[in-house]
Structure 1
Amino acid sequence: MQLKPQDFLVALKLVAWSGQRWTYAALAHALGLSTSEAHACVKRGLQAGLLAVNALEAAVHGAVAAHEPGAIYRLARRTRLSASELTQVVGGDNPARANPRNLAEFAVHGAKYAFPAEKLGLTLGVPTSHSAPAFAGVFAPGSDAMVWPHAEGAVRGIGLRPLHPSVPYAAMQDAKLYEMLALFDALRAGRARERGMAAQRLAALINPTQEVAHG
């Protein structure tokens, strides 16, 4: 099993949704993916440990998780789901959530190597990295603008190929997702001062209750 860029995108979207209920159709629509692709992303995210099971359907547990809170924690201690359980999870609504510790560690220390930055020429696009609206006044001025190339973009800057082609669309629908994606771009394509700040902020957004070592 090999993680794909859209798997990381889905995991960040589940962070942005902060535990709210969702369906695969809603997830797919929000990210510009097909429903089948959203299913596959969640399945790979669970296998990789970037996502965690939210609750199994009654057919798997024999009881609704809402009436048995401990079920979630018992399941979370298991290292691997059986094939039949994974099929049940991926087939239901609201089946998974981000695994904050693992996802923050991957986002800060691994994702930039798994999905390296690819800079393009000057182009019009949607601001990202230190140029994103969320970071106005945060990053030091003086850097050239960095953008995701986009036909409807209004900012000229250095093009950066997005994590996935649907990223500009998805980011413009969700401010928190936009912030995390721009931070990831700063982490993988920014200068040293931008990378350090991005690592701290991205880790805090994904896993606010626990620090992630930087370096």
Structure 2
Amino acid sequence: MKSQDIVILLKLVSLEDQIRQGCLDEPVSSDPFALRSLEGALGISKSEISASLRRSIAAKLAIKSNDRPKVNRRNLTEFLQHGLKYVFPAKPGAPQRGVATGFAAPMLEGQLVSSGADIYVWPHAEGSQRGSSITPLFKSVPEAALKDERLYELLALVDAIRLGNQREANLAQDRFEERMARA
């Protein structure tokens, strides 16, 4: 597994949810699951996306369904809850300007009150927040998150799981499970 595999799987979850809810922003003529569409949305090359999907299918985090990958949400949730912070740990770095992540992300802000806790950001030139920098799972994450609010929320929760102490990680895991269960 590579860290971008998680980003790609979360993008697929976001697309599946948007299609189910009928609020997909993609033009009707294009297939949002096509490698070219994913490349444009995530800033990851088509060959890397293809290799990532093969790894995810081999790891049983996705299955092939109707010639396109479908995320095995239960297995992905289990992996994120129990293995992510060990496989892809996050270490806060120097303060920088960037895109808020973890519980500082706009859709999660105020859900956890921690005394004196810094906010975390993915370094990004156009970011509006300043906080301790966190290396994202993949270098294009800030751009991709700004294009897709659902993906942003999932990635922020994943960072909260990677970063948080037990209480914060448990709350993030609960929120992540809710997002994965709802359509």
Interval of TM-score (by shorter of Structure 1 and Structure 2): 0.7 to 0.9
Structure showing greater Rg:
1
2:49 alignment counterpart: 38
Per the alignment, residue 105 of structure 1 pairs with 78
AA matched with 1:13: K
Is 1:10 the counterpart of 2:8? The answer is yes
Identity value in percent: 41
Q: Which runs of 5+ in 1 are unaligned?
A: 57-94, 210-215
- The normalised TM-score by structure 2 is 0.86
Deviating beyond 6 angstroms after TM superposition, the runs of 4 or more aligned structure 1 residues are none
Q: SS of 1:18's equivalent?
A: helix
Superposed CA offset, 1:1-35 (max 9, x none): xx000111111111111164521100111111111
CA distance in 2, matches of 1:54, 1:133: 34
Aligned residues: 169
- Give unmatched runs, 5+ long, in structure 2: 20-30
Structure 2 equivalent of residue 91 of structure 1? none
User: Residue 101 of structure 2 aligns with which residue?
Assistant: 128
CA RMSD of aligned residues (A): 1.6
* TM-aligned CA deviation for residue 111 of structure 1: 1.4
Partner of 1:157: 131
User: 1:179: how far off?
Assistant: 0.7
Contact 2:112 / 2:168 at 8 angstroms: preserved in 1? yes
Match of 1:175 in 2: 149
Q: TM-score, normalised by structure 1?
A: 0.74
What is the correspondence of 1:113-124 to structure 2 with a 5 Å cutoff?
113-124=86-97
- Deviation (angstroms), 1:135: 1.0
* Distance in 1 (alpha carbons) for counterparts of 2:113 and 2:76: 28
